[in-house]
Structure formats: C-alpha cells, structure tokens
Chains A and B, each alone.
Chain A
C-alpha cells in the first residue's frame, strides 16, 4: 500500500492544561521522523483551534491539518473518526498516533477499522526498525514480558500511547510550521449520538500523577484492613496512595489509585512499594520514579530488583514500623 512518510498525531486538546499527551507524543514523533525522514504532522478538529495548532508547531509539528467549524465545537467520536479517516485516505500517512485518553481510546479503534489497518493499544515505547517500520512496544500478557509489534502490510501504522509515557519538548517560539485548513466535507454523515449535557468536573483531589511521594500497595499487603494502613502512612507523609490491579479488583482501593497500563503513570521523587511483585503492566508506569524503596518478603521479586532500596520484610509490619518511626521523629 502506498503512503507518504508523514507521521500524524491526533490533536487531543480538550482539557488542555491537564492533558499533555498530544505534546508528549509529538516529541516522540520528532525522534521517529528523524529516522524515517518523514514529517511530523498534527491533526486538529474543532471550533476556534488556532491556538492549539500553533502550540503543536511550537512542540514539534511541521504541519498541522485543521478542520475548524462551529459544528465541531464539541468532541464527537463519530464525526472525528469519520474526518480522521477522510483525511487519512486523502494523504495516506505512514503512521497515526493517538493519545490514550478515553476519547482517543474510543476513536482510534474506529479509525483503524474504517481504514482496515492494525492498532496497538497502550504502547510503552515506539521505535523504527531497519525496514523503517514502526515498532510498537507494549506489555504482553503472561509474566514479565514485553512484545514488539509491527503492522507489516497495512497503513497507517496505528498506536495509542498513555499520558506520561513520553516527555514533551520545551515550547519553541521560533518554530515554523504550516497550517493547512480544510472545509468540512459535504458528505459528512449525521451523528447518531447527541450530547445532551456535559459537565467538566476535574477531580479536586491531588493527582497521583503529580505526587512527590507515592505509596503503592500490592496484594502482598494481605487484606483490605491492612491495606488501609497505607492511607494512614500517606497522610503523615503528605503522599498519595497507589495500588496494583488485584488490589483494585478486590476493592481494597478505588480505581483512581490504579498504577500501570490500565491506570496512571507516575513520576514521584520517592516511590514506596509494599507487597508488589512488579509485573510489567505495573512497572511500565514507574519509569519516571526517581527513587524506589520496595518492601517484599521475597527478595527475588522483580519489584525488589528494580528498587534502589530493597527491604526484605513483611509488608504490613514494615508499614506499621515506618508509621511509628515517622510519628516519633517528625519535627513540626
């Protein structure tokens, strides 16, 4: 299948200040394009998007394809996936990357299906191989394994990437890029879905993604009651609690706390990890943790091997011990 060398990134600007994923992916696209010799392009649909288009240029996009129209004022899966497909058919990009916001996760599969191409979810890294193919690196089910995936025949090569996986470039005020605008195609189908009400309610709680200390608990904490102690520890340490998936499934902690492929990426100065084995779906989200203190009764657990300090102990006992030590030694 013929395609040009463009690498496209979906411009997901909604919730702009919290949602940096588009800028993060653009940064990676710049690296990829330096290997393929292609151009980095952002694609924006909306109403009054000029600011965003410029922001994407300042963050690495050489071109921005824009459809700006009052009818695109609110995000619509049907319309956006139809437009993305329409543009992709017209320009045949080599690669199309989408941030794994809820919206992106719903839109990308529809676009991939319409274009008859593959899509890899939640890549933890992207590379270019010697055939200039996009290598999509993602956690694989079963043990501590990572898979390299390619899309050998169909184009574009598509992947979604979680927020926090890559690092955005600094804003470059000098950057130059081309903004290419289109009118809405006449034959855009009518939406079958109507947005009746929409209320923006960012959670007031401090976000685990931004916390300086995260206290992460796994199944090794033993029970819901014992897990609760981690919240006490978090409180006195000014920290946020994170959890592994079995913990969330067992309802010891709620879904907001989930750290990993299915949850959040974190970047604390210190991560305390209690009773966590260190499965790749969890540890993929810890690559930006600066200093890791792991507690596990099994010294060979992966989490212990990747820690800076590996404490061989019962997780619950250690948690109680640390609470006591801090309470006794804190200077107010």
Chain B
C-alpha cells in the first residue's frame, strides 16, 4: 500500500483576533491554535490520493503538547495515524533543526514511505524552508509550490505555476511535494470522521530520546542561526492628521493634496486650486 506522510504544523489563529484600540496592534496572547492553512491543503492532497487509489496517511507534527489537537483533527479528516514529536529540548528550532527532527522520525519509523507532503509555507513563519530541507535530509527529490498532483504508481506528475512559468514535472518516488495554499481547497470535518477519531483516538507521542537526537541535543543551541536582537522599528512621522465628519475630511484631503493625487493619476481634478483650471 501507498504510504503517505503529511507534515502539519499548529499555528496561532491570528486572523480572528481583536486589536487593541490603544496601540492598534493585535492581541496575540489571545490566539488559539489551529492547523496551518497550507498544511491543511497538504493533508487535503493526501486525502484525495487516498480516495482515488487507497493509501495509508500518517500525519506528523513537531510542537508543544497542545499541538496534539491538530493531529486529532487530521485523523477526523481521514488520516490513519497521528504522531506528535514533542520535547522541551525541541523548542526554539529553526528550519534546519525542525527538518532534522522530522527527518529523524521518518528515517527511524517510516522508512518505507512513498510520498511526503508539506504545505509550501506556514502562516506563522512563511519561510517555505522546512519542505525542501526535509527532502534534502531524506535524500529525496522535491517539488515545491505544487498546484496539482497526479499520482502514477512509480512516479507523480505535478503542475505548478512559479516565477511566471507554468510547469508540468515528473518526479520519481519516493519524493516530497509542498502544496501551494491556493491549490487544494481543504474540506470541512464530516461527522463520520469525528466518529472515527473518537473510536481511534491514539496519538503517538515521541520525545527527543526516542528519536536518538543525542544526549546533548538542544534545538535552540544546535540551530545554526541565532537571534541576537528583537526590536520595534520606530515609525512615527511628522504628519498631517485629518479628522471629523467624513465629507469634511475628504474635501480637506483633496484641497490640500489634490495636486499630488491628480498628478499620480494622470488626470486633472477640479478640487484643488493650484492648476488655475486649464
């Protein structure tokens, strides 16, 4: 049987957060976790392959214990197995180490895989690095930003649109594909799926020791990149503030800046006085 591994990540659900009216920024501390949207598309691609030719789908995530939620969700959607790689020592991993941890599990416990699917990028980092680095460490080819995947037994055909090129590629298996966010529309949970997940709730939990990451393993210390400073860029400009009734404000805007606006538009406006009405 075809063995598919899907790597999914839990991310904070920032899009539904309220903003702080004083500072104008999001209240991120209120964020709940959700499955990263691109990871959901990757899972969807796996589910469609499973429906058309049968497959065993193993969903893997590395994250805190709380990330178990998205594995239950993946199983409810149709994944056969859920694996959580979690350990304090995994915290602070950059993409190099994240892909190393994922690869260590796959090499150790699912070496008979045919296909690995990832999202092309996660909403909380957008690095798009974990997929290709995982492929590299597994010594398999990869195709990123895939639009559509056609499964053909010994190989896959992948369509994608990158850098203004529409490409059709053929890749030998085993291989890795990262799925573009806009390609596969993720399905909603079906009731049947929720039942499945309840009947078979097991999630496999694996720590650093079981992965043989080494006695002194520390994701933070082992990551080749290091954050040395985090700061808030200063942005306050000397600027003009317009407020009041909308009509008044708009009139004022055109009176004061109509010239700039009309020149950028390449059209003449009567609102401002400077051009003397040609």
Contact = CB atoms under 8 A, between A and B. Distances in A.
User: Counting chain B CB atoms within 10 Å of each CB, which of A19, A117, A150, A239 scores highest?
Assistant: A150
Nearest to B137: A113
B114 interface: no
Where chain B touches its partner, the secondary structure class is: mixed
Interface residues of B, number: 90
Interface in A91-114: 101-103, 105-110, 112-114
B233 A103 contact: no
> Chain A: interface residue count, which band?
35 or more
Given A143-B25, A144-B233, A78 B141 contact: yes
Interface string B264-277: 11111111000000
A110 B136 contact: yes
A314 B246 contact: yes
B228 interface: yes
Contacts of B127: 121-122
Nearest to A195: B169
A309 B257 contact: yes
B33 to A, nearest CB: 14
A195 B171 CA distance: 9
Contacts of B227: 140, 147-149
A147 B231 CA distance: 7
A211 B268 CA distance: 18
B164 A18 contact: yes
B254 A110 contact: no
B121 interface: yes
Interface stretch (A32-40, A55-63, A299-307): A299-307
B72 to A, nearest CB: 23
Where chain A touches its partner, the secondary structure class is: mixed
Contacts of B256: 309
A198 B165 contact: yes
Nearest to B136: A113
Interface in A201-239: 201-203, 212-213, 219, 237-239
A213 B264 contact: yes
A201 B166 contact: yes
B242 A310 contact: yes
Contacts of B269: 326, 329-331
Given A77-B142, A112-B133, A325 B271 contact: yes
A102 B224 contact: no
B15 A246 contact: yes
Contacts of B37: 249
A109 B132 contact: yes
Contacts of A170: none
B52 interface: no
B224 to A, nearest CB: 3
B243 A299 contact: yes
Given A306-B237, A321-B250, A330-B267, A298 B24 contact: yes
Interface of B: 15, 19, 21-26, 28, 37, 94-96, 99, 121, 123-133, 135-137, 140-145, 157, 162-172, 175, 181-182, 223-233, 235-237, 239-243, 246-247, 249-251, 253-254, 256-257, 260-261, 263-271, 278
27 contacts: A106-B144, A109-B132, A110-B133, A136-B225, A141-B124, A145-B230, A151-B226, A194-B171, A197-B167, A199-B167, A201-B166, A203-B164, A212-B264, A237-B261, A246-B15, A262-B126, A270-B264, A278-B24, A279-B26, A281-B126, A300-B21, A307-B237, A309-B242, A310-B239, A321-B250, A329-B271, A331-B278
